Amino acid sequence: MGKKSRNERETPIKETFEPLPLESKAPATVVLLLNSPEEDILIKACEAIQTFAEKGDENKVSLLGLGALAPLCQLITHNNKLVRRNAFMALGIMATNGDVRTALKKLDAIPSIIEKLSLEDDTVVHEFATLCLASLSEDFLCKAQIFDNKGLPTLIQLLSSSDPDVKKNSLETISNLVQDYKSRLVVHELGGIPPLLQLLNSEFPVIQHLALKTLQHVTTDRDANKTFRDKQGFEKLMGILNNVNFSDLHAEALHVLANCLSDSESVQLIHKSGGLTKLMEFVLTPSVPEIRSGVIKCITRVAQSCKHRRQLETTDFFQLSHIIYSILFILLCVCVCGCLPVCLAETCKVLHEQDVETVLIELLSLENIDVMTSACQAVAALTFHPNSKERFRELGCISVLVQLLSRESLALREAATQALSNLTHNSESNAFEVYEEGGDKLLIQQLYQSCPKIVANSAATLCNMAEHEIIRCSILSHGAIQALLEPLKSTVTQVLVNTARCLAVLASDEEARTELVRVGGLQLLVNLLQSHSKEVLHIACLAVNVCASDEPTAVELCKFGALEILQEINQSKTRRNSFSELAVNSLLNSNLSFKYSLTSSLASTDIITCGFYDAGKARPGQRMLTLEELSKQPVNQRQAIIFVNKATVLPDRETVDVPEETQNKPSESDGRVRGERKTPKVTVDVRDETQSKPSESESRVKGDRKTPKKKKEEKQKDYLQPESPVEKPRGMMEDVSLQILIKIAKEYIFPLNDEKEQCESLARLVSEAMGGAVEKEKMHEFSWILHLSELKIQLQSNVIPIGFIKKGIYYHRALLFKSLADCIGLSCTLVRGDYNRAWNEVLLFSRNSSNKLHSSQPCRYIVDLVHQPGNLFPVNSPAAVQYQTI
């Protein structure tokens, strides 16, 4: 045997094994074969995995655990067509399992599936590739991935496939995708409506169901609606509705129909095709609740279109003598057809004459949640017609709706509260009907619900009812204010708007405002003033305006910063509104202390009452402090706060004798000679209220005494009655000196017949009480600053009752004059100037000296309280200007 050459040794062996029959019963072995380089083995392995996976979910999960998914995802892109086909079949079967879908999503297989789906012409590949996508499209992220990888164009093309499984899987995927708005638009743009309509003729019910389900989403778009109509979509729907064999499709068909009924052209088209007659038959014939609900939804859509309610077409249907169910649907649909326009009043008259309301009442009595919910929605839509409102009340609809408020279904209660809100809007009779049925109590309970729409509707209904005083009292008695607190914290705009509006109506009652303060609702209301929603802001300003109608509530609102926020709003060009300006005015008019600090003036209509204080002119941006806050501050060197306390009644033991003296000093400034008149003169210092012992020189004024007991009691009735004092430091609780001045003003100045005499006498009384007349040249010698400092130390407070001041200058005297003038009904203003100046302006009719008659035109005067007390300077005269300025 010779030695082989090198070339002979390196020649490759071309022989192979004989075909080796391979049998395996272990899934793990078959999974390993998926990595084989031999195509025959791959084909058989994929086929075996498909067969194994078809036997149940346990096998699918087992294959997933053995790692079959990753190699299968690679094999769907194999060069061998048969390998790809079998791999798709195995992958499609496995993808129907939830665990496999989750794992498949992580492998990012969707781009590969869509790519092969568009390139392959193998129907089997189409079937199982679309089966994979149908399973994956149930996941939100997978839907987005299918959309982003341009899966919709291919899927729409496959709707025309000859294979029903391909149609079904593609349609199911599209149906899942069109749940998102952008996919609906793309389906319409890609011409998806014609193939969807064609699938309605399929012999397979599952395909018909999926096609209707998809159309139900797509036709929510207005443009898609037009295409649906142009492609004979209504004819297709009516073909289904007219076929008794397709009764299982009627509910879905009605939902699609409901989407199109807001379009007048669509309603006209369905009317011509006999659709109205078919709707009539659905009501006449007992049917499943879903179909009834769908029909009622059609009614609601039509009724909600105000534009279409203004048109009416006279048709043969009005002559039909069918039972009331048929009349309802015919009239509501004919109402929008638009061939023969007539006025809305005539349309409402026809609807009312046909008694359409009776049908809805009967539907409300059916024990099916969907039907009752849809009926409530229809009632809410029809209540825009005044005649329908009355008819609903006469038929007992309100009683039924009130009873529905106790049902568990949130959707039903939402629809019922919406219907009640519409029924009670601008209808006193309906509001009282709800009240008589106990609806106010049930509506208040709805305010505690978590559903925003229920809360918003309930608040709106209560607002409508609370406009009537009797009902408002009942609503308040059931704890409405407390119930409204939680909705005021909502983030839903409509809830806040309706709640604040309801609060504004309720707050017109004093009891409601008191309760609102007690439960802490004012803080929540003030918070709404910072809302970025214009609607919420406007209603919040309106509510603040109402709440600020009394002083205690206004003070509380100011505590929470309402005034500062409103001032900021009014400075903004975008946020300022008429309600914000009204709210500021109401707050200031109910809190004259703040008004005087901010505006430096009080009008003659601003009556100073107990609790007024002058804290000086407020600086821009300065937070206004309440009297309680000011009284708690330690004594400082700032200007004293002057407090007007009219609450204390003179003790019974206190007597005041007032002598009448003749004062006929001529005025040096104008040379006028005053006639003799009798005026009170305070000549003795009043007892200091801070002393523990009464002063022996307690003020007395001598004069004619009329001391019969009866007359004394009558005079005591004229005294200022005590007001409920706010909790303040003890030194602020009594101001006997002020009470004596009020007593003198009422007994001796008020009876004077001439207002000018009253002004002059009151001016002298104020001057005497605060240190007497002071010459201009000697003002620097008038030690009023030292006097006030001593009072602050003596009282250990920055707040000084005005009656304690015995040395006062312009702004002290002007405030005292205004306070006393308001007590006796003498009209005057109070204006703050610069450098501690302040003055009072009075409006008087000048008397003609010859005939002693008043002139027809009144004149305005400035009252001198400091230099020549009682002098009256015409406004803008040199003397007046000199008095007002340095």
Q: 678 pairs with which residues across the strands?
A: 662
Model confidence at 145: pLDDT above 60: yes
Number of alpha helices (DSSP H) and beta strands (DSSP E) in the chain: 49, 13
Q: Report strand pairing: 340-341 vs 311-312.
A: antiparallel
How confident is the model at residue 413, as a pLDDT?
Answer: 95
The mean pLDDT value for 181-204 works out to 89
Q: What tokens does 6 get?
A: 């090198």
Report the percent of the chain where pLDDT is more than 90. Answer: 35
Q: Which of 278, 270, 219 is nearest to 250 (CA)?
A: 278
Model confidence at 656: pLDDT above 70: no
Model confidence at 643: pLDDT above 90: yes
Given a contact cutoff of 8 angstroms between Cβ atoms, the answer to whether 604 and 843 are in contact is: yes
What's 730's DSSP letter?
A: G
Instruction: Give the start-end residues of each E strand in 196-263.
Output: none
Highest mean pLDDT (candidates 108-122, 500-514, 654-668): 500-514
DSSP-derived 3-state class of residue 612: strand
Instruction: Give the start-end residues of each E strand in 742-835.
Output: 799-801, 830-832
How confident is the model at residue 243, as a pLDDT?
Answer: 78
Q: How confident is the model at residue 291 (pLDDT cuts 50, 70, 90)?
A: low
Model confidence at 336: pLDDT above 50: no
Q: How confident is the model at residue 409 (pLDDT cuts 50, 70, 90)?
A: very high
d(CA 545, CA 586): 6
Residue with the bigger pLDDT between 706 and 477: it is 477
Model confidence at 227: pLDDT above 80: yes
Q: How confident is the model at residue 326 (pLDDT cuts 50, 70, 90)?
A: very low
The mean pLDDT value for 38-58 works out to 87
Q: What are phi and psi of 643, to 5 degrees?
A: -115, 130
Model confidence at 649: pLDDT above 80: no
Q: What tokens does 27 get?
A: 């899934």
The mean pLDDT value for 110-135 works out to 86
How confident is the model at residue 298, as a pLDDT?
Answer: 55
What's 661's DSSP letter?
A: E
Q: How confident is the model at residue 280 (pLDDT cuts 50, 70, 90)?
A: low
Q: How confident is the model at residue 341 (pLDDT cuts 50, 70, 90)?
A: very low
Q: How confident is the model at residue 281 (pLDDT cuts 50, 70, 90)?
A: low
Q: What tokens does 12 get?
A: 């490759």
How confident is the model at residue 267, as a pLDDT?
Answer: 62
- For the chain, the average pLDDT equals 78
Q: Mind giving me the DSSP string for 226-237?
A: HHHHHTTHHHHH
- Distances from the Cα of 312 to the Cα of 26, 59, 275, 355, 379, angstroms: 75, 64, 17, 17, 20
What's 807's DSSP letter?
A: S
Fold type of domain 398-483: Leucine-rich Repeat Variant (1.25.10)
Model confidence at 13: pLDDT above 50: yes
Model confidence at 92: pLDDT above 70: yes
The mean pLDDT value for 87-110 works out to 88
Highest mean pLDDT (candidates 36-45, 480-489, 618-627): 480-489
Given a contact cutoff of 8 angstroms between Cβ atoms, the answer to whether 525 and 488 are in contact is: yes
d(CA 456, CA 484): 11
Given a contact cutoff of 8 angstroms between Cβ atoms, the answer to whether 746 and 824 are in contact is: yes
How confident is the model at residue 216, as a pLDDT?
Answer: 87
Model confidence at 117: pLDDT above 90: no
What's 648's DSSP letter?
A: P
Q: How confident is the model at residue 572 (pLDDT cuts 50, 70, 90)?
A: confident
Q: Report strand pairing: 830-832 vs 601-602.
A: antiparallel
d(CA 21, CA 229): 62
How confident is the model at residue 714, as a pLDDT?
Answer: 43
Model confidence at 782: pLDDT above 60: yes
Q: What tokens does 230 get?
A: 């142009």
Residue with the bigger pLDDT between 589 and 386: it is 589
d(CA 566, CA 594): 14
How confident is the model at residue 762, as a pLDDT?
Answer: 95
Highest mean pLDDT (candidates 69-78, 248-257, 340-349, 435-444): 435-444
Least confident window among 39-48, 322-331, 405-414, 863-872: 322-331
Q: How confident is the model at residue 837 (pLDDT cuts 50, 70, 90)?
A: very high
What sections of 610-674 are H helices per DSSP? Answer: 627-631
d(CA 818, CA 606): 10
DSSP-derived 3-state class of residue 586: helix
Model confidence at 63: pLDDT above 50: yes
Q: Domain boundaries in the chain?
A: 398-483, 635-884
Instruction: Give the start-end residues of each E strand in 735-816.
Output: 799-801
